[in-house]
Structure 1
Amino acid sequence: MSEKKQKKGHNSKSFDRDAKGVILLDILPLGQCINAARYCSTLDRLKEAIRRKSRGLLRKGVVLQHDNATPHSANLTQQWLQRYGWEILPHPARSPDLAPSDFHLFGPLKRHLGGMAFETEDDLISELRNWFDNLDVDFFRVGINSLLSRWQKCIDLHGDYVEK
């Protein structure tokens, strides 16, 4: 989320996953905004988490999907991605229908958190971690696999919004 669009006092949450689950959950402290430097710092932590998870067996590289937000498209970020050879899936502007987080994750997360109240930010973070840790083993695989059919629908619709 660009600094201009970040609402004062709101958290920004970033999570990276593969078909087996969450690799990194990165939550900005209340009131902080994401920028290119912070995003690259998150990518550094993600790179290390992938290295630890794969125990050095990562052979094919990383394919990353992110939108065209300013921190993602900034020169600093592009240089980072080029330095480490990470492939970026193209993401058309204003296309939340092609982001697994938007079409697969946020609905169930909102339903889970609906009606809950948290005394502290740490309580919320604890609940988020608990929810991610207890997701069905197939949850992320289903979301990532459905991306292929959503991309095809987008192509078939000449870029129009993809419905379920």
Structure 2
Amino acid sequence: MDRIAARSARIPKLSRFGWLMGLYAENHVRLVRLFEPQDLAVGRYVSSVGDGLDVVLDVVARHAYTVELRLSYAVIDPVTGEPDPSAHLRLYRDAKQVEATHCYVGRRWQDVIGMYPPPAQVVTHRLRMNTFLGKWVQYLAEQGHGVATLVPVSEATAPIAA
């Protein structure tokens, strides 16, 4: 019996931060497989599969090692006039990770959990956002969205407000 207890004590435990980093890596695999955003130029792209819910991918900025993105549906919130749902993403090309920095326009982490939250609350919030992102990207893939359905859109014909 003691030998079994000793064996289970040697199994390393994954911290919540480690779990979060794993989510970032999984989200990178899913998003790159879906849209290959690391290769897209700055601009707006729309994916339509004929279900009435077009997906909008905005490549906001490209930097040496990161790409800033916004993923949303072409659906406007009647109260704010902004796309809903909406997730702001940071793709780390060198680390092969994708982080949801905030979801929904104007709802940065400070708006949701306050200016000086304890670290555990920040990690919990990031876990929730990035779990949502992973499930959403997986759902989009199951609906048929992908590189083949993604087309660039000029600003004049963009379906949603920037």
Compute the TM-score of the two structures, normalised by the length of structure 1.
0.31
The structure carrying a bigger helix percent of its residues is: 1
TM-score, length basis structure 2: 0.31
Q: Which has the higher strand share?
A: 2
RCO higher in structure (CA 8 A, sep ≥6): 2
